[in-house]
Amino acid sequence: MRIKKDYVEYFFLGLVVIIALLFITGTLNSLLGYSFVVIQNSDPNSMNPTYMQGDIFIIQHANWEEIKVGDVIVYNNPISNLLVIHRVILKTQSLGQNYLSVKGDNPVTNSIPDIYSGNSIQIPMKAVLGKIVLKAQYLGHLSLALQRNIGIQIILYLVAGGIGVSIWVFGKDDEESEDEFYDLNPRKFLSGITQHVSETKRDILIEKQVHKLFTYLILLLVLTLMISSQLNPGIYYPQQISNKPELVGATVDTSFRRSYQLTVNGTIKTYLFYQIQLQISDPGNLAEHISEINVKLSTITGTLLSNTDWNIMGRLVGKVVIGGTLIFDTSKVLNVDQNLPIDIKVVVSGILSSYTLNYTHDLQYKAI
């Protein structure tokens, strides 16, 4: 049994086109537990400076137990009907249901936790797509634009279909020779594919050597710029390379606190929320960069109230301000005016090693 070589080429070409269209229109779904997602936050600066609207992510589908406070998740917000990427600030359970509460990193535009429905900040796991494991800057803007224009999507599919039909109809030869077919015997089929690829490569080198070389050089340049901007953005800011990563300061506006009634294990509990602003200076280069921040809030006696790990996926360049979260169950705190200690650890990673910077601060707690 034989199959025409053109049909095999059309199949692989069509497969590539379909995957590309599914990607740019935002409909490429789970692949071995992972998905491509372009974030559609209604506020494009809600995760600034760590993430921006249009960034494209690979997310890993995870259950409640696999997500920890400080992870960045993607969920479907029913109010805006958009995919939102925000950081987990609290995990709760009640009557067999698991919930997450999240907030954006921008201390100005996202100074309070996200509202999921009504006045509730508890997001059910059914609305959570997963947590991010990889980020690529800027690449999602094309996909984001196409997702919002169904007309362009239809045109793209029609054009792709038209090209496919044209190749099928007008690409047929009146005379067919033996070398235009593959034998479907597995060994002969693979041998034929290898031979055809080899012949194609030789033709490209002979007929289009200069054009292909120029194209590859352009692609290599673009790839180099993309990789270098991810691994070492400080290279584009030479005045900052000599700077050391540091936490410049931490402030808590105690006059701006919020009280939330949450159902936890079948009981209504009162949680207090404070925003802590972390002023960070980071050269953002490969030699040294801030990769993680840990913030712990405790009572004077050492009872842990809040513990958050920020995983910085990518580089922060320059002086930035991140809006952190202190949220805790008020039943764990003695209801008197007191200073609650805050321990801050900044993990600085480099090419060969990493080290931790330790800072302390106080939350001036006022009795309710």
SS3 216: helix
Taking the C-alpha atoms of residue 360 and residue 342, their distance in angstroms, rounded to an integer, is 6
**Which has more pLDDT, 2 or 262?**
262
**Which has more pLDDT, 48 or 188?**
48
Residue pair 31/73 in contact (Cβ under 8 Å)? The answer is no
Work out whether the CA dihedral 107, 111, 112, 113 comes out positive or negative: negative
Task: Name which of 118, 45, 27 is nearest 85 in CA terms.
Answer: 45
In this predicted structure, what is the pLDDT of residue 148?
52
CATH code of 31-139, in short, is 2.10.109.10
Show me where the domains of the chain are located: 31-139, 239-365
In this predicted structure, what is the pLDDT of residue 34?
58
Q: Is the pLDDT of residue 240 over 50?
A: no
In this predicted structure, what is the pLDDT of residue 67?
94
In this predicted structure, what is the pLDDT of residue 234?
45
> In this predicted model, what pLDDT tens digit does every residue of 307-365 receive, in sequence order?
988 877 666 777 888 888 999 999 999 999 999 999 999 998 877 778 899 999 999 99
> In this predicted model, what pLDDT tens digit does every residue of 25-47 receive, in sequence order?
445 544 545 566 666 665 667 88
Q: Is the pLDDT of residue 155 over 60?
A: yes
In this predicted structure, what is the pLDDT of residue 211?
63
Region 109-128: what's the mean pLDDT? Answer: 92
Strand 128-136 relative to strand 56-60, pairing: antiparallel
**Which has more pLDDT, 212 or 80?**
80
**Which has more pLDDT, 46 or 162?**
46
In this predicted structure, what is the pLDDT of residue 269?
94
| Cβ neighbours of 289 (radius 10 Å) | 24
pLDDT tier at 254, thresholds 50, 70, 90: confident
**Which has more pLDDT, 159 or 246?**
246
Q: What pTM was computed for the model?
A: 0.68
Region 148-165: what's the mean pLDDT? Answer: 65
Taking the C-alpha atoms of residue 326 and residue 324, their distance in angstroms, rounded to an integer, is 7
Average pLDDT of the chain?
A: 76
Task: Name which of 330, 332, 342, 358 is nearest 252 in CA terms.
Answer: 342
Task: Name which of 193, 160, 215, 153 is nearest 9 in CA terms.
Answer: 193
Strand partners, 363: 340
Place of tokens 């190749």: 167
**Which has more pLDDT, 55 or 363?**
363
Q: Is the pLDDT of residue 127 over 80?
A: yes
Element (H, E) at 145: helix 141-147
Task: Name which of 269, 261, 265, 332 is nearest 98 in CA terms.
Answer: 265
In this predicted structure, what is the pLDDT of residue 82?
82
In the chain, the percentage of residues whose pLDDT exceeds 90 is 31
In this predicted structure, what is the pLDDT of residue 33?
56
Q: Is the pLDDT of residue 54 over 70?
A: no
Taking the C-alpha atoms of residue 248 and residue 211, their distance in angstroms, rounded to an integer, is 51
SS3 215: helix
Task: Name which of 58, 100, 109 is nearest 76 in CA terms.
Answer: 100
Region 11-35: what's the mean pLDDT? Answer: 59
Residue pair 341/300 in contact (Cβ under 8 Å)? The answer is yes
In this predicted structure, what is the pLDDT of residue 236?
44
SS3 14: helix
Residue pair 53/39 in contact (Cβ under 8 Å)? The answer is yes
> In this predicted model, what pLDDT tens digit does every residue of 277-317 receive, in sequence order?
999 888 766 677 888 899 999 999 999 999 988 877 666 77
In this predicted structure, what is the pLDDT of residue 220?
72
User: Which of the listed CATH numbers 3.20.20.10, 2.30.29.30, 2.60.40.10, 2.40.10.220 matches domain 239-365?
Assistant: 2.60.40.10
pLDDT tier at 128, thresholds 50, 70, 90: very high
Region 230-234: what's the mean pLDDT? Answer: 48
Taking the C-alpha atoms of residue 93 and residue 125, their distance in angstroms, rounded to an integer, is 11
